[in-house]
Amino acid sequence: MQLRTEPYVLDMGPVHPSTHGVFRMRVTLDGEAVLNLEPVFGYLHRGVEKLAEERAYSGVIPLTDRLDYVASMTNNLAYVLAVEKLAEIKVPERAEYLRVIMSELQRISAHLVSIGSFTNDSGCYFTPFLYMYREREKIVDLFDMVCGQRLLYNYMRIGGVSQDIPDEFLPALRKVVKHLPGRINEYDRLLSENEIFLARTKGVGILPKETAINIGASGPVLRSTGIEWDIRKKDPYSIYDRFDFDIPTGEAGDCYDRYYVRLQEMRQSIRIVEQALKQIPSGPVKADVPQLIRPPVGEAYGHVEGPTGEVGFHVVSDGGIAPYRCHIRAPSLMNLTGLYDMSVGWKVQDLIVIFGSFAITMGEIDR
């Protein structure tokens, strides 16, 4: 005779160490098996889109820092690209190169946080997390050198960047770029064939290609399914069409592939930075743009390939000094819509690993 248990509802969060922020999952369990899952958002909502309507165009940039606060540089860039398209502003060449360098350093930094947190969620202890924060600290030092901030950078500007890099920046950057490939190889050896890590991630939380497309997934979550889609290649912005790099993809769309795509993307980001270092010209770093911009009546959409996926800003102008409407496409929110399909049928301990493989930031979900 087979024993049956009564299904029960377990609330994970909104304060839970494995949800990486104030995120709540109402999980219906049969023993340890997941029968149903209801994601609950909104605990961190700050009304960023509404606040943008009351600020000058340049005053919205600090708000974008506070969306995905693990990748502030790319948030900045997506927004200023939308405004520049709306106001038809030409960005100086040197500023374009600085934007690319900062964006790719930000991608590496964000992936180090994502992979380190994910390995901890997967039961591979705390050591990989500390290793990756060690390397992230070197990149944060570079950001600090450029703009004086270590988390919320507020570096991009409409028409360029806030200031040029100091004389000591490029030598320090070359040192970091030379050092990083060896460290990434070390993480590869440490994790990619680790018995515990493989047991917790291989074949777990599979996202089919069709589902990924239907939910509007992007970034490593989409590419882990084998779909070669990267905005830097497919719809190049800034000067990304000048660089040679590959788009890493997975095959199974499982938790392991989402990890491995991020690991390979760090190598490609280093390639881009190395090319940018060789090509970067001298010259101004910001166009001659007034403090209070009045774009013509109209609308524009700017998007970038952020560390978690497509970060987009749809900005509408009524001819005033503030956006009439500013809507944000948050990649973490879009990716998370596949959480139910990927989690039902797995055990509750697998749910932590599946959720961790998304590498979400609640700041952009609850914007």
Question: How many angstroms separate the CA atoms of 258 and 81, rounded?
Answer: 28
What is the reported pLDDT for 128?
Answer: 84
pLDDT attached to residue 17: 66
pLDDT for res 125 = 73
| pLDDT tens per residue across span 153-162 | 999 999 999 9
What's residue 120's pLDDT?
86
- Is the four-CA dihedral 18, 19, 20, 24 of positive or negative sign? negative
Of the chain, the end-to-end C-alpha distance in Å amounts to 51
Distance of alpha carbon 46 from alpha carbon 22, whole angstroms: 13
What pLDDT, in 10s, does the model give residues 186-217?
999 989 998 989 999 999 999 999 999 999 99
Q: How far apart are CA 117 and CA 133, in angstroms?
A: 10
Residue ranges of the chain whose pLDDT lies below 50: none
Beta partners for 161? Answer: 156
Angle (CA) 33-38-39 rounded to 5° is 120
Domain boundaries, the chain: 8-365
What are residue 312's DSSP bridge partners? 303, 329
Rounded to the nearest angstrom, the gap between the alpha carbon of residue 291 and the centroid of all alpha carbons in its chain is 29
Task: Give pLDDT tens digits for 125-136.
Answer: 788 889 999 999
Tell me if 52 sits within 8 A of 60, measured CB to CB: yes
What pLDDT shows up at residue 2? 61
- CATH fold, domain 8-365, is Cytochrome-c3 Hydrogenase; chain B (1.10.645)
Look up residue 139 and give its two tokens.
């990149």
